Amino acid sequence: MNKNLIYRGPEPSHATRTISRRSRASLRGAMVAKLPGFNTPRILQFESALEYAFLCLTLVRDDIQHIWDQPPVVHYVGRDGRPAKHIFDFLVTMTGGERIAVAVKPMQRVIARNFLSELERVAAATPKQFADRVMLVTDRHLDRVAAAAAARKLARTRPALTEVAA
């Protein structure tokens, strides 16, 4: 029997801001993912090799329901007392319903820019209806070998973008 296949492209990213595609310093890109919380496969964007590694490690887990790349801005008061904004890299929803706002940064930048102090201010201002908790992920938290293995697994198990025509 001859089957006619229809291509259905992935849903676009739901990011609230467009990431810059050009960078001399870091990897920029997007990947197609399918999670239980997605109706159809969706594009997820990343702005660095570190974010890509985090995504790969997260997407192979069984307890992840949904990932939102570049979720809405969180307003907070900066160290100087002025209003400031922060956009988390990802908002991860666990299968149990817990929502985790994730900031992914190289440890060198966390130290050089005193980012932990800023993130504490952001966490205090993050509404509970947005996220249950805030998490910082650095290069010291991620296992590069495990991330490479996760990337290979994702490449082998990519979501299908074709279906049989009715």
d(CA 57, CA 149): 9
What CATH number corresponds to the domain at position 82? 3.40.1350.10
Contacts of 108 (CB under 8 A, 6+ apart): none
Give yes or no for a contact between 31 and 90, defined as CB atoms under 8 angstroms apart: no
Amino acid letter, 38: F
Angle at 19 between CA 92 and CA 148, to 5 degrees: 55
**99 pLDDT exceeds 80?**
yes
Neighbours of 142 (CB within 10 A): 16
* Predicted local distance difference test score (pLDDT) of residue 34: 93
Task: Indicate the range of 15-24, 27-36, 38-47, 73-82 predicted with least confidence.
Answer: 15-24
pLDDT band per the 50, 70, 90 thresholds, residue 29: confident
**9 pLDDT exceeds 90?**
no
For residue 76, give its domain range.
5-17+25-164
Of the CA atoms within 13 Å of residue 124, those in its CB half-sphere come to 11
Mean pLDDT in residue range 111-120: 95
If one counts the domains in the chain, the total is 1
